[in-house]
Structure 1
Amino acid sequence: MPFRRFLRASVPQSQLAAVADEVARRYGEPSAQFECLEANNWLSVPCVVNDQWFVKVIADQHSFVHALLTTGRNIGAFSSGTEGFFEHFSTPIEMAEHELEATRRMRELGVNAPEPIEAFEHEGVGVLVLEYLPSFRTLDELDAEAAVSFAPELFENLSRMHDAGLTHGDLRAENVLVAPNDEGVETLYFIDATRVREEAIADAKAYDLACALASLTPLIGAPVAIEAAREHYSASDLLAAREFLDFVNMRPDHDFDNALVKGEIEKAIS
Protein backbone atom coordinates (compact mmCIF):
# COMPACT_ATOMS: atom_id res chain seq x y z
CA MET A 1 0.00 0.00 0.00
CA PRO A 2 1.27 3.54 -0.68
CA PHE A 3 1.25 4.59 2.99
CA ARG A 4 3.23 1.52 4.00
CA ARG A 5 5.76 2.27 1.27
CA PHE A 6 5.96 5.82 2.62
CA LEU A 7 6.76 4.53 6.10
CA ARG A 8 9.53 2.33 4.71
CA ALA A 9 10.98 5.09 2.52
CA SER A 10 10.96 7.60 5.38
CA VAL A 11 13.77 5.63 7.04
CA PRO A 12 16.64 6.32 4.62
CA GLN A 13 18.66 3.42 3.30
CA SER A 14 21.77 5.02 4.75
CA GLN A 15 20.21 4.93 8.22
CA LEU A 16 19.12 1.30 7.79
CA ALA A 17 22.66 0.45 6.68
CA ALA A 18 24.04 2.20 9.78
CA VAL A 19 21.74 0.12 11.99
CA ALA A 20 22.87 -3.08 10.26
CA ASP A 21 26.52 -2.09 10.77
CA GLU A 22 25.83 -1.47 14.46
CA VAL A 23 24.14 -4.85 14.85
CA ALA A 24 27.10 -6.60 13.20
CA ARG A 25 29.55 -4.66 15.39
CA ARG A 26 27.72 -5.56 18.58
CA TYR A 27 27.86 -9.29 17.81
CA GLY A 28 31.40 -9.47 16.52
CA GLU A 29 30.78 -9.60 12.78
CA PRO A 30 33.35 -7.84 10.55
CA SER A 31 30.72 -6.55 8.09
CA ALA A 32 26.98 -6.33 7.62
CA GLN A 33 24.65 -7.34 4.82
CA PHE A 34 20.99 -6.50 5.25
CA GLU A 35 17.75 -7.04 3.41
CA CYS A 36 14.48 -5.24 4.05
CA LEU A 37 11.55 -7.65 4.14
CA GLU A 38 8.27 -7.10 2.37
CA ALA A 39 6.12 -7.58 5.44
CA ASN A 40 2.58 -6.41 6.23
CA ASN A 41 3.87 -4.08 8.92
CA TRP A 42 2.87 -0.49 9.76
CA LEU A 43 5.01 -0.14 12.86
CA SER A 44 8.61 -0.80 11.82
CA VAL A 45 10.93 -1.52 8.92
CA PRO A 46 11.74 -5.25 9.26
CA CYS A 47 15.18 -6.37 8.06
CA VAL A 48 17.44 -9.39 8.16
CA VAL A 49 21.11 -8.81 8.97
CA ASN A 50 23.73 -11.34 7.85
CA ASP A 51 21.03 -14.02 7.63
CA GLN A 52 21.34 -14.32 11.42
CA TRP A 53 19.27 -11.59 13.04
CA PHE A 54 15.77 -10.31 12.50
CA VAL A 55 15.89 -6.57 13.11
CA LYS A 56 13.01 -4.12 13.45
CA VAL A 57 13.88 -0.49 12.88
CA ILE A 58 11.32 1.79 14.57
CA ALA A 59 11.27 5.49 13.77
CA ASP A 60 9.22 8.44 15.08
CA GLN A 61 6.66 8.04 12.30
CA HIS A 62 6.02 4.44 13.38
CA SER A 63 5.37 5.63 16.92
CA PHE A 64 2.92 8.19 15.52
CA VAL A 65 1.10 5.50 13.52
CA HIS A 66 0.99 3.34 16.64
CA ALA A 67 -0.74 6.21 18.46
CA LEU A 68 -3.36 6.45 15.69
CA LEU A 69 -3.95 2.70 15.67
CA THR A 70 -4.19 2.62 19.46
CA THR A 71 -6.84 5.34 19.42
CA GLY A 72 -8.82 3.47 16.78
CA ARG A 73 -8.62 0.20 18.66
CA ASN A 74 -9.75 1.82 21.89
CA ILE A 75 -12.74 3.35 20.10
CA GLY A 76 -13.54 -0.15 18.86
CA ALA A 77 -13.27 -1.50 22.39
CA PHE A 78 -15.74 1.17 23.54
CA SER A 79 -18.15 -0.10 20.87
CA SER A 80 -17.99 -3.51 22.56
CA GLY A 81 -19.20 -2.01 25.83
CA THR A 82 -15.89 -1.79 27.65
CA GLU A 83 -13.23 0.81 28.30
CA GLY A 84 -10.33 0.90 25.87
CA PHE A 85 -7.45 -1.25 27.05
CA PHE A 86 -4.71 -0.63 24.46
CA GLU A 87 -1.75 1.53 25.50
CA HIS A 88 0.52 3.70 23.39
CA PHE A 89 4.31 3.76 23.38
CA SER A 90 5.67 7.28 23.56
CA THR A 91 9.01 6.66 21.83
CA PRO A 92 10.47 4.22 19.28
CA ILE A 93 12.84 2.71 21.84
CA GLU A 94 9.91 2.10 24.20
CA MET A 95 8.17 0.17 21.41
CA ALA A 96 11.29 -1.94 20.89
CA GLU A 97 11.83 -2.57 24.61
CA HIS A 98 8.22 -3.63 25.13
CA GLU A 99 8.31 -6.21 22.36
CA LEU A 100 11.63 -7.54 23.67
CA GLU A 101 10.15 -7.97 27.16
CA ALA A 102 6.89 -9.48 25.87
CA THR A 103 8.87 -11.99 23.81
CA ARG A 104 10.98 -12.89 26.85
CA ARG A 105 7.88 -13.44 28.96
CA MET A 106 6.29 -15.70 26.37
CA ARG A 107 9.40 -17.86 26.21
CA GLU A 108 9.61 -18.01 30.00
CA LEU A 109 6.09 -19.46 29.96
CA GLY A 110 7.06 -22.11 27.43
CA VAL A 111 5.35 -20.33 24.54
CA ASN A 112 7.45 -20.43 21.39
CA ALA A 113 8.67 -17.09 20.11
CA PRO A 114 11.85 -15.99 18.33
CA GLU A 115 14.72 -15.66 20.79
CA PRO A 116 14.86 -12.06 22.06
CA ILE A 117 18.37 -10.65 21.83
CA GLU A 118 18.45 -6.90 22.44
CA ALA A 119 16.70 -3.55 22.12
CA PHE A 120 18.71 -0.37 21.77
CA GLU A 121 18.60 3.12 20.31
CA HIS A 122 20.80 4.12 17.39
CA GLU A 123 20.85 7.43 15.54
CA GLY A 124 17.36 8.34 16.69
CA VAL A 125 15.59 5.06 15.92
CA GLY A 126 14.60 2.17 18.13
CA VAL A 127 16.15 -1.17 17.20
CA LEU A 128 14.82 -4.58 18.18
CA VAL A 129 16.98 -7.64 17.51
CA LEU A 130 15.45 -11.11 17.52
CA GLU A 131 16.38 -14.57 16.33
CA TYR A 132 15.85 -14.91 12.58
CA LEU A 133 13.56 -17.75 11.54
CA PRO A 134 14.70 -18.46 7.97
CA SER A 135 11.83 -20.78 7.10
CA PHE A 136 8.26 -20.19 8.23
CA ARG A 137 4.66 -19.95 7.10
CA THR A 138 2.04 -17.69 8.59
CA LEU A 139 -1.11 -19.27 9.98
CA ASP A 140 -3.23 -18.17 7.01
CA GLU A 141 -0.83 -19.89 4.59
CA LEU A 142 -1.72 -23.34 5.98
CA ASP A 143 -4.13 -25.66 4.25
CA ALA A 144 -7.21 -26.76 6.18
CA GLU A 145 -5.71 -30.05 7.37
CA ALA A 146 -2.59 -28.39 8.77
CA ALA A 147 -4.61 -25.58 10.36
CA VAL A 148 -6.84 -28.12 12.13
CA SER A 149 -3.78 -29.90 13.50
CA PHE A 150 -2.34 -26.65 14.91
CA ALA A 151 -5.58 -25.23 16.35
CA PRO A 152 -5.28 -27.01 19.74
CA GLU A 153 -1.68 -25.78 20.06
CA LEU A 154 -2.76 -22.20 19.38
CA PHE A 155 -5.36 -22.21 22.15
CA GLU A 156 -3.09 -24.11 24.55
CA ASN A 157 -0.39 -21.45 24.18
CA LEU A 158 -2.87 -18.59 24.36
CA SER A 159 -4.40 -19.96 27.56
CA ARG A 160 -0.93 -20.43 29.05
CA MET A 161 -0.24 -16.76 28.47
CA HIS A 162 -3.63 -15.75 29.86
CA ASP A 163 -3.24 -17.91 32.98
CA ALA A 164 0.00 -16.04 33.67
CA GLY A 165 -1.62 -12.63 33.24
CA LEU A 166 -0.08 -11.99 29.83
CA THR A 167 -2.09 -11.02 26.74
CA HIS A 168 -1.06 -10.70 23.12
CA GLY A 169 -3.25 -7.77 22.09
CA ASP A 170 -2.73 -8.16 18.32
CA LEU A 171 -3.42 -11.81 17.61
CA ARG A 172 -4.00 -12.35 13.89
CA ALA A 173 -2.88 -14.88 11.31
CA GLU A 174 0.21 -12.88 10.31
CA ASN A 175 1.42 -12.89 13.92
CA VAL A 176 1.30 -16.67 14.32
CA LEU A 177 4.12 -18.41 12.48
CA VAL A 178 4.67 -22.09 11.76
CA ALA A 179 8.39 -22.93 11.79
CA PRO A 180 10.65 -25.86 12.71
CA ASN A 181 11.95 -25.90 16.28
CA ASP A 182 15.43 -27.03 17.34
CA GLU A 183 14.40 -30.66 16.79
CA GLY A 184 13.14 -29.88 13.29
CA VAL A 185 9.47 -30.31 14.24
CA GLU A 186 7.09 -27.64 12.98
CA THR A 187 5.46 -25.69 15.79
CA LEU A 188 3.76 -22.34 16.39
CA TYR A 189 5.69 -19.15 17.11
CA PHE A 190 3.98 -15.99 18.38
CA ILE A 191 5.25 -12.53 17.43
CA ASP A 192 4.31 -8.83 17.67
CA ALA A 193 2.59 -8.68 21.05
CA THR A 194 1.32 -5.21 21.94
CA ARG A 195 0.59 -3.44 25.22
CA VAL A 196 -2.69 -3.48 27.15
CA ARG A 197 -3.60 -1.93 30.50
CA GLU A 198 -3.08 -4.37 33.37
CA GLU A 199 -6.33 -3.38 35.06
CA ALA A 200 -8.25 -4.38 31.92
CA ILE A 201 -6.65 -7.81 31.59
CA ALA A 202 -9.96 -9.70 31.58
CA ASP A 203 -11.27 -7.73 28.61
CA ALA A 204 -7.95 -8.10 26.81
CA LYS A 205 -8.06 -11.87 27.28
CA ALA A 206 -11.57 -12.01 25.80
CA TYR A 207 -10.40 -9.90 22.88
CA ASP A 208 -7.44 -12.26 22.29
CA LEU A 209 -9.80 -15.23 22.22
CA ALA A 210 -12.14 -13.47 19.79
CA CYS A 211 -9.16 -12.71 17.52
CA ALA A 212 -8.02 -16.34 17.64
CA LEU A 213 -11.48 -17.55 16.60
CA ALA A 214 -11.62 -14.93 13.84
CA SER A 215 -8.21 -16.04 12.54
CA LEU A 216 -8.99 -19.76 12.52
CA THR A 217 -12.60 -19.73 11.32
CA PRO A 218 -11.83 -18.97 7.63
CA LEU A 219 -9.32 -21.84 7.63
CA ILE A 220 -11.13 -24.62 9.50
CA GLY A 221 -14.69 -23.43 10.10
CA ALA A 222 -16.30 -22.03 13.22
CA PRO A 223 -17.43 -25.36 14.80
CA VAL A 224 -13.94 -26.86 14.67
CA ALA A 225 -12.31 -23.66 15.92
CA ILE A 226 -14.72 -23.38 18.85
CA GLU A 227 -14.30 -27.06 19.70
CA ALA A 228 -10.52 -26.55 19.89
CA ALA A 229 -10.99 -23.46 22.05
CA ARG A 230 -13.24 -25.30 24.48
CA GLU A 231 -10.35 -27.59 25.46
CA HIS A 232 -8.81 -24.61 27.26
CA TYR A 233 -11.57 -22.03 27.69
CA SER A 234 -14.87 -22.14 29.56
CA ALA A 235 -18.35 -21.26 28.34
CA SER A 236 -18.10 -17.93 30.14
CA ASP A 237 -14.79 -17.23 28.37
CA LEU A 238 -16.43 -17.86 24.99
CA LEU A 239 -19.35 -15.61 25.89
CA ALA A 240 -16.93 -12.84 26.86
CA ALA A 241 -15.10 -13.29 23.55
CA ARG A 242 -18.42 -13.13 21.69
CA GLU A 243 -18.88 -9.55 22.88
CA PHE A 244 -15.74 -8.52 20.99
CA LEU A 245 -16.50 -10.21 17.67
CA ASP A 246 -18.22 -7.14 16.18
CA PHE A 247 -15.14 -5.06 16.94
CA VAL A 248 -12.76 -7.70 15.57
CA ASN A 249 -14.88 -7.98 12.44
CA MET A 250 -14.34 -4.27 11.74
CA ARG A 251 -10.58 -4.69 11.61
CA PRO A 252 -9.14 -4.98 8.09
CA ASP A 253 -6.81 -7.81 9.10
CA HIS A 254 -9.69 -10.18 9.94
CA ASP A 255 -12.16 -11.58 7.44
CA PHE A 256 -14.65 -14.08 8.86
CA ASP A 257 -18.37 -14.77 9.13
CA ASN A 258 -19.20 -12.91 12.33
CA ALA A 259 -22.80 -14.08 12.61
CA LEU A 260 -21.77 -17.69 12.07
CA VAL A 261 -19.15 -17.60 14.84
CA LYS A 262 -21.62 -16.00 17.25
CA GLY A 263 -24.21 -18.65 16.44
CA GLU A 264 -21.76 -21.49 16.88
CA ILE A 265 -20.68 -20.14 20.27
CA GLU A 266 -24.31 -20.14 21.39
CA LYS A 267 -24.72 -23.73 20.14
CA ALA A 268 -21.54 -24.89 21.86
CA ILE A 269 -22.50 -23.58 25.29
CA SER A 270 -26.21 -24.42 25.20
Structure 2
Amino acid sequence: MQLRKLVRGRLEWSRLESVVRELARRYDRDTVHVRFLEADNWLSTPMVIDDEFFVKVVTEQNSFVHTLFTTSRNIGAFSSGTEGFFGHFGTPYQMAEHELEATERLREIGLNAPEPVEALEIDGMGVLVMEFIHEFATLGELPEEVERKRAPDVFAALKRMHENGLAHGDLRAENVLVVDDEIYFIDATNVRGDEHRPEYSMVSARSYDLACALAALEPHIGARAAIAAAASAYDTEELLAAREFIDFVSIRPDHTFEAAELKGELEKHAEQAERDDGRV
Protein backbone atom coordinates (compact mmCIF):
# COMPACT_ATOMS: atom_id res chain seq x y z
CA MET A 1 0.00 0.00 0.00
CA GLN A 2 2.86 2.42 0.83
CA LEU A 3 4.45 1.73 -2.55
CA ARG A 4 1.13 2.43 -4.25
CA LYS A 5 0.84 5.76 -2.43
CA LEU A 6 4.39 6.66 -3.43
CA VAL A 7 3.87 5.76 -7.08
CA ARG A 8 0.45 7.38 -7.28
CA GLY A 9 1.75 10.51 -5.55
CA ARG A 10 0.08 12.72 -3.01
CA LEU A 11 -2.28 15.19 -4.61
CA GLU A 12 -2.45 18.54 -2.83
CA TRP A 13 -5.81 19.40 -1.30
CA SER A 14 -5.89 22.69 -3.21
CA ARG A 15 -5.95 20.80 -6.51
CA LEU A 16 -8.52 18.29 -5.29
CA GLU A 17 -10.61 21.16 -3.98
CA SER A 18 -10.63 22.75 -7.44
CA VAL A 19 -12.05 19.51 -8.82
CA VAL A 20 -14.73 19.27 -6.14
CA ARG A 21 -15.75 22.91 -6.56
CA GLU A 22 -16.05 22.56 -10.32
CA LEU A 23 -18.15 19.40 -10.03
CA ALA A 24 -20.40 21.06 -7.44
CA ARG A 25 -20.88 23.95 -9.85
CA ARG A 26 -21.57 21.66 -12.81
CA TYR A 27 -24.13 19.64 -10.87
CA ASP A 28 -25.73 22.75 -9.31
CA ARG A 29 -24.97 21.92 -5.68
CA ASP A 30 -24.22 24.44 -2.94
CA THR A 31 -22.38 21.87 -0.84
CA VAL A 32 -21.12 18.36 -1.47
CA HIS A 33 -19.92 15.52 0.71
CA VAL A 34 -16.58 14.05 -0.35
CA ARG A 35 -15.27 10.66 0.70
CA PHE A 36 -11.83 9.47 -0.37
CA LEU A 37 -11.26 5.80 -1.12
CA GLU A 38 -8.23 3.62 -0.55
CA ALA A 39 -8.98 1.78 -3.76
CA ASP A 40 -6.49 -0.63 -5.33
CA ASN A 41 -5.58 1.87 -8.00
CA TRP A 42 -2.13 3.06 -9.03
CA LEU A 43 -3.23 5.50 -11.69
CA SER A 44 -5.65 7.94 -10.08
CA THR A 45 -7.01 9.38 -6.85
CA PRO A 46 -10.52 7.97 -6.35
CA MET A 47 -13.27 9.64 -4.36
CA VAL A 48 -17.06 9.58 -3.94
CA ILE A 49 -19.21 12.70 -4.07
CA ASP A 50 -22.57 12.73 -2.29
CA ASP A 51 -22.65 8.91 -2.42
CA GLU A 52 -23.81 9.41 -6.01
CA PHE A 53 -20.73 9.95 -8.18
CA PHE A 54 -17.55 7.91 -8.31
CA VAL A 55 -14.75 10.23 -9.39
CA LYS A 56 -11.21 9.46 -10.53
CA VAL A 57 -8.70 12.29 -10.63
CA VAL A 58 -5.77 11.60 -12.97
CA THR A 59 -2.64 13.73 -12.61
CA GLU A 60 0.45 14.27 -14.71
CA GLN A 61 2.31 11.83 -12.44
CA ASN A 62 -0.40 9.22 -12.94
CA SER A 63 0.00 9.64 -16.69
CA PHE A 64 3.77 9.25 -16.41
CA VAL A 65 3.40 6.09 -14.30
CA HIS A 66 0.94 4.73 -16.87
CA THR A 67 3.60 5.29 -19.54
CA LEU A 68 6.10 3.26 -17.50
CA PHE A 69 3.55 0.49 -16.87
CA THR A 70 2.61 0.38 -20.54
CA THR A 71 6.24 0.08 -21.61
CA SER A 72 7.01 -2.68 -19.11
CA ARG A 73 3.88 -4.61 -20.03
CA ASN A 74 4.67 -4.42 -23.73
CA ILE A 75 8.16 -5.73 -22.97
CA GLY A 76 6.52 -8.55 -21.04
CA ALA A 77 4.20 -9.27 -23.96
CA PHE A 78 7.21 -9.42 -26.25
CA SER A 79 8.88 -11.90 -23.87
CA SER A 80 5.76 -14.07 -24.22
CA GLY A 81 6.33 -14.29 -27.95
CA THR A 82 3.96 -11.61 -29.20
CA GLU A 83 4.11 -7.96 -30.10
CA GLY A 84 3.19 -5.36 -27.50
CA PHE A 85 -0.50 -4.55 -27.46
CA PHE A 86 -0.91 -2.10 -24.56
CA GLY A 87 -1.53 1.52 -25.47
CA HIS A 88 -0.80 4.73 -23.58
CA PHE A 89 -3.02 7.79 -23.82
CA GLY A 90 -0.91 10.90 -23.72
CA THR A 91 -2.50 13.28 -21.23
CA PRO A 92 -4.43 12.89 -17.96
CA TYR A 93 -7.60 14.04 -19.73
CA GLN A 94 -7.09 11.53 -22.54
CA MET A 95 -6.71 8.74 -19.96
CA ALA A 96 -10.00 9.73 -18.32
CA GLU A 97 -11.75 10.11 -21.66
CA HIS A 98 -10.49 6.75 -22.81
CA GLU A 99 -11.83 4.88 -19.77
CA LEU A 100 -15.17 6.64 -20.20
CA GLU A 101 -15.37 5.50 -23.83
CA ALA A 102 -14.26 1.95 -22.99
CA THR A 103 -16.97 1.69 -20.33
CA GLU A 104 -19.57 3.04 -22.73
CA ARG A 105 -18.62 0.35 -25.26
CA LEU A 106 -19.00 -2.39 -22.67
CA ARG A 107 -22.51 -1.19 -21.87
CA GLU A 108 -23.36 -0.91 -25.58
CA ILE A 109 -22.75 -4.65 -26.07
CA GLY A 110 -24.91 -5.56 -23.08
CA LEU A 111 -22.29 -6.04 -20.37
CA ASN A 112 -22.72 -4.59 -16.91
CA ALA A 113 -20.55 -1.62 -15.97
CA PRO A 114 -21.11 1.55 -13.95
CA GLU A 115 -22.96 4.23 -15.90
CA PRO A 116 -20.48 6.76 -17.32
CA VAL A 117 -21.31 10.40 -16.64
CA GLU A 118 -18.52 12.47 -18.18
CA ALA A 119 -14.80 13.03 -18.57
CA LEU A 120 -13.39 16.52 -18.31
CA GLU A 121 -10.19 18.45 -17.72
CA ILE A 122 -9.79 20.57 -14.59
CA ASP A 123 -6.57 22.38 -13.71
CA GLY A 124 -4.58 20.15 -16.05
CA MET A 125 -5.99 16.97 -14.51
CA GLY A 126 -8.21 14.37 -16.11
CA VAL A 127 -11.44 13.82 -14.20
CA LEU A 128 -13.66 10.79 -14.81
CA VAL A 129 -17.16 10.81 -13.31
CA MET A 130 -19.23 7.64 -13.14
CA GLU A 131 -22.15 6.16 -11.28
CA PHE A 132 -21.27 5.13 -7.74
CA ILE A 133 -22.27 1.55 -7.01
CA HIS A 134 -23.19 1.27 -3.34
CA GLU A 135 -23.30 -2.44 -2.59
CA PHE A 136 -21.04 -4.95 -4.26
CA ALA A 137 -18.42 -7.59 -3.63
CA THR A 138 -15.27 -7.97 -5.67
CA LEU A 139 -14.58 -11.36 -7.18
CA GLY A 140 -11.87 -11.99 -4.59
CA GLU A 141 -14.17 -11.20 -1.65
CA LEU A 142 -16.80 -13.83 -2.40
CA PRO A 143 -17.08 -17.03 -0.36
CA GLU A 144 -15.51 -19.93 -2.24
CA GLU A 145 -18.80 -21.68 -3.02
CA VAL A 146 -20.27 -18.45 -4.41
CA GLU A 147 -17.17 -17.74 -6.47
CA ARG A 148 -17.33 -21.23 -7.97
CA LYS A 149 -20.92 -20.59 -8.96
CA ARG A 150 -20.15 -17.18 -10.49
CA ALA A 151 -16.94 -18.21 -12.30
CA PRO A 152 -18.68 -19.42 -15.51
CA ASP A 153 -20.57 -16.10 -15.61
CA VAL A 154 -17.25 -14.23 -15.57
CA PHE A 155 -15.98 -16.14 -18.58
CA ALA A 156 -19.30 -15.88 -20.42
CA ALA A 157 -19.18 -12.08 -20.01
CA LEU A 158 -15.52 -11.99 -21.03
CA LYS A 159 -16.33 -14.06 -24.12
CA ARG A 160 -19.05 -11.60 -25.13
CA MET A 161 -16.54 -8.79 -24.77
CA HIS A 162 -14.05 -10.59 -27.00
CA GLU A 163 -16.64 -11.59 -29.61
CA ASN A 164 -17.46 -7.89 -29.96
CA GLY A 165 -13.86 -6.92 -30.66
CA LEU A 166 -13.10 -5.57 -27.19
CA ALA A 167 -10.55 -6.48 -24.55
CA HIS A 168 -10.40 -5.39 -20.92
CA GLY A 169 -6.62 -5.11 -20.66
CA ASP A 170 -6.39 -5.00 -16.83
CA LEU A 171 -8.54 -7.85 -15.56
CA ARG A 172 -8.02 -8.53 -11.85
CA ALA A 173 -10.27 -9.81 -9.09
CA GLU A 174 -10.69 -6.20 -7.90
CA ASN A 175 -11.97 -5.18 -11.33
CA VAL A 176 -14.79 -7.73 -11.40
CA LEU A 177 -17.72 -6.87 -9.16
CA VAL A 178 -20.77 -8.89 -8.22
CA VAL A 179 -23.83 -6.69 -7.83
CA ASP A 180 -27.17 -8.38 -7.12
CA ASP A 181 -25.73 -11.65 -8.50
CA GLU A 182 -24.69 -9.93 -11.73
CA ILE A 183 -21.12 -9.58 -13.03
CA TYR A 184 -19.87 -6.01 -13.50
CA PHE A 185 -16.58 -4.91 -15.07
CA ILE A 186 -14.76 -1.78 -13.93
CA ASP A 187 -11.45 -0.09 -14.82
CA ALA A 188 -11.75 -1.20 -18.43
CA THR A 189 -8.97 -0.16 -20.74
CA ASN A 190 -8.70 -0.57 -24.47
CA VAL A 191 -5.61 -2.16 -26.00
CA ARG A 192 -4.36 -0.75 -29.25
CA GLY A 193 -4.39 -2.78 -32.41
CA ASP A 194 -1.46 -3.28 -34.73
CA GLU A 195 -1.88 -0.85 -37.62
CA HIS A 196 -0.79 -3.47 -40.14
CA ARG A 197 -2.16 -6.56 -38.43
CA PRO A 198 -4.95 -5.44 -36.08
CA GLU A 199 -6.28 -8.95 -35.67
CA TYR A 200 -2.91 -10.15 -34.34
CA SER A 201 -2.81 -7.73 -31.42
CA MET A 202 -6.45 -8.28 -30.55
CA VAL A 203 -6.03 -12.07 -30.45
CA SER A 204 -3.07 -11.63 -28.10
CA ALA A 205 -5.01 -9.18 -25.95
CA ARG A 206 -7.88 -11.67 -25.60
CA SER A 207 -5.45 -14.41 -24.60
CA TYR A 208 -3.94 -12.07 -22.03
CA ASP A 209 -7.42 -11.25 -20.65
CA LEU A 210 -8.17 -14.96 -20.35
CA ALA A 211 -4.85 -15.63 -18.58
CA CYS A 212 -5.60 -12.80 -16.14
CA ALA A 213 -9.07 -14.16 -15.41
CA LEU A 214 -7.66 -17.63 -14.69
CA ALA A 215 -4.98 -16.06 -12.46
CA ALA A 216 -7.63 -14.09 -10.56
CA LEU A 217 -9.75 -17.18 -9.86
CA GLU A 218 -7.06 -19.80 -9.17
CA PRO A 219 -6.20 -18.68 -5.60
CA HIS A 220 -9.85 -18.90 -4.55
CA ILE A 221 -11.31 -21.94 -6.33
CA GLY A 222 -8.23 -23.79 -7.57
CA ALA A 223 -6.71 -24.26 -11.01
CA ARG A 224 -8.93 -27.15 -12.10
CA ALA A 225 -12.19 -25.40 -11.23
CA ALA A 226 -11.01 -22.15 -12.85
CA ILE A 227 -10.15 -23.95 -16.08
CA ALA A 228 -13.44 -25.86 -16.06
CA ALA A 229 -15.29 -22.56 -15.76
CA ALA A 230 -13.24 -21.05 -18.59
CA ALA A 231 -13.89 -24.12 -20.77
CA SER A 232 -17.62 -23.40 -20.54
CA ALA A 233 -17.01 -20.36 -22.79
CA TYR A 234 -13.65 -20.92 -24.52
CA ASP A 235 -12.37 -23.83 -26.59
CA THR A 236 -9.13 -25.72 -25.95
CA GLU A 237 -7.15 -23.79 -28.55
CA GLU A 238 -8.09 -20.50 -26.88
CA LEU A 239 -7.14 -21.85 -23.45
CA LEU A 240 -3.74 -23.00 -24.71
CA ALA A 241 -3.15 -19.58 -26.25
CA ALA A 242 -3.82 -18.06 -22.82
CA ARG A 243 -1.28 -20.45 -21.30
CA GLU A 244 1.50 -18.55 -23.10
CA PHE A 245 0.74 -15.48 -20.99
CA ILE A 246 0.61 -17.17 -17.57
CA ASP A 247 4.27 -16.47 -16.71
CA PHE A 248 3.89 -12.86 -17.87
CA VAL A 249 0.86 -12.36 -15.62
CA SER A 250 2.62 -14.02 -12.68
CA ILE A 251 5.28 -11.31 -12.49
CA ARG A 252 2.68 -8.57 -12.00
CA PRO A 253 2.57 -7.37 -8.36
CA ASP A 254 -1.25 -7.35 -8.38
CA HIS A 255 -1.60 -11.05 -9.24
CA THR A 256 -0.67 -13.80 -6.77
CA PHE A 257 -1.37 -17.34 -7.92
CA GLU A 258 0.26 -20.72 -8.57
CA ALA A 259 1.46 -20.29 -12.15
CA ALA A 260 3.02 -23.75 -12.47
CA GLU A 261 -0.12 -25.48 -11.22
CA LEU A 262 -2.33 -23.46 -13.55
CA LYS A 263 -0.13 -24.24 -16.57
CA GLY A 264 -0.03 -27.92 -15.62
CA GLU A 265 -3.81 -28.12 -15.35
CA LEU A 266 -4.18 -26.38 -18.71
CA GLU A 267 -1.97 -29.06 -20.28
CA LYS A 268 -3.99 -31.83 -18.62
CA HIS A 269 -7.20 -30.23 -19.89
CA ALA A 270 -5.81 -30.11 -23.44
CA GLU A 271 -4.68 -33.72 -23.28
CA GLN A 272 -8.08 -34.86 -22.03
CA ALA A 273 -9.83 -32.84 -24.75
CA GLU A 274 -7.61 -34.50 -27.36
CA ARG A 275 -8.47 -37.96 -26.01
CA ASP A 276 -12.17 -37.11 -26.00
CA ASP A 277 -11.95 -35.92 -29.60
CA GLY A 278 -10.30 -39.20 -30.55
CA ARG A 279 -13.26 -41.14 -29.21
CA VAL A 280 -15.75 -39.20 -31.30
What TM-score does the superposition give when structure 2 sets the normalisation length? 0.91
Find the counterpart in structure 2 of residue 15 from structure 1: 15
Partner of 1:182: none
- Within the alignment, does 1:141 sit opposite 2:141 as a pair? yes
Q: Residue 188 of structure 2 aligns to which amino acid in structure 1? A: A
Counterpart of 1:262 in structure 2 is 263
For residues 34-58 of structure 1, what are the alpha-carbon distances to aligned partners after superposition, in whole Å with 9 as ceiling and x for unaligned?
Answer: 1110112110000001111000000
C-alpha deviations, 1:178-206, integer Å up to 9, x for none?
22xxxxx3322111122312221000000
* Corresponding letter in the other structure for 2:173: A
C-alpha separation between the residues in 2 aligned to 1:261 and 1:186? 27
**Larger Rg over CA atoms:** 2
In 1, distance between residues paired with 2:26 and 2:231? 46
Q: SS of the residue aligned with 2:72?
A: helix
Q: What is the match of residue 186 of structure 2? A: 191
- How far apart are 1:9 and its partner, in Å? 5.4
In structure 1, the partner of 2:278 is none
Aligned length: 265
Q: Shift in Å at residue 7 of structure 1?
A: 5.4
Relative distance call for 1:244 and 1:9 in structure 2 (3 A) is closer
Distance 1:73 1:149, change over 3 A: same
Please list the CA deviations of residues 111-167 of structure 1 after superposition, one character each: whole Å capped at 9, or x if unmatched: 111000100001111000000012222111111111111101100110000000000
Structure 1, unaligned runs of 5 or more: 180-184
Q: Is the 8 A contact 2:35 2:48 kept in 1?
A: yes
Structure 1 segments (4+ residues) deviating >6 Å: none
* TM-score normalised over the length of structure 1: 0.95
Contact persistence 1:88–1:195 (CA under 8 A): no
Conserved 8 A contact 2:138-2:175: yes
Q: CA RMSD in A?
A: 1.3
Q: 1:7 to 1:14 in 2, by over 3 A?
A: farther
Distance between the aligned counterparts of 2:70 and 2:82, measured in 1? Answer: 15
Q: Is the 8 A contact 1:100 1:128 kept in 2?
A: yes
Identity rate, percent: 57
Query: C-alpha separation between the residues in 2 aligned to 1:60 and 1:116?
Result: 22
> Equivalences for 1:225-240 in 2 at 5 Å?
225-240=226-241
State how 1:1-270 maps to structure 2 within 5 Å. Answer: 1-6=1-6, 10-179=10-179, 185-198=180-193, 199=198, 200-270=201-271
AA aligned opposite 1:220: I
* Alpha-carbon distance between aligned partners in 1 of 2:8 and 2:148, rounded to the nearest angstrom: 35
After superposition, give the CA deviation of every residue in 1:207-249 in whole Å (9 maximum; x if it has no partner). Answer: 0000000000111111111111111111110010000001011
Cα distance between partner residues in 1 of 2:51 and 2:130: 12
> Can you give the 5+ residue segments of structure 2 that lack an aligned partner in the other structure?
272-280
